[in-house]
Structures are given as C-alpha cells and as structure tokens.
Amino acid sequence: MMNTENMPPLITLAHLRKIVGPDILGRDKGLQLMQQHGFRLGRRYVLPRTKLEALLRGALPEQDNKNLDLRSLPLHR
C-alpha cells in the first residue's frame, strides 16, 4: 500500500484521481465517493486523509463502499 503520511490532511477530487489513477476512478464515481465520505469546503468536496487510507485498505463500510474496492487495483504512485 502507498505511504499516505506525506499527503495533506484533506484530499481534493483531482488529487484523489491522481493517487488512484484517472483510468481507474472516473470523475463521476470519484465525486460520488467524495459526496458520501467527504464534505464540502467552499465549492469543493474534500476527503479526509483517514478516509482515503480506509478506502485503500478496503475498510470503509460495505453499504457505503459499493463497487469501490480499490485493494486489488494497481495504484499510481
């Protein structure tokens, strides 16, 4: 799993797509994830780093994490 210690505490959608890979996580699915697990800060949705870590571990609750199991995907570094 990738090291998330050097990441900012809040992740934007653009940063999330760079981490996961834009070919793996599309804009619409990424926005859905941000709306479910993040919050709005001004006009943008942001995702707390702890939620990103849980997503990468596959530890988000099953009902909230439909079709978003990223554990088996090769992530961009």
Q: 77 pLDDT exceeds 50?
A: no
How does residue 5 score in pLDDT terms, banded at 50, 70 and 90?
confident
| 21-71 confidence digits (pLDDT tens) | 899 889 999 999 999 999 999 999 999 999 998 888 888 765 444 555 555
Count, residues in the chain: 77
Position 6 scores a pLDDT of: 85
Residue 9 carries which DSSP code? S
Sketch the domain layout of the chain as residue ranges: 11-51
Position 71 scores a pLDDT of: 59
**Segment (H or E) for 11:** strand 10-12
Q: 19 pLDDT exceeds 80?
A: yes
Closest to 24 measured CA to CA, from 73, 61, 77: 73
**Euclidean distance between CA atoms 16 and 26, whole angstroms:** 10
Amino acid letter, residue 66: K
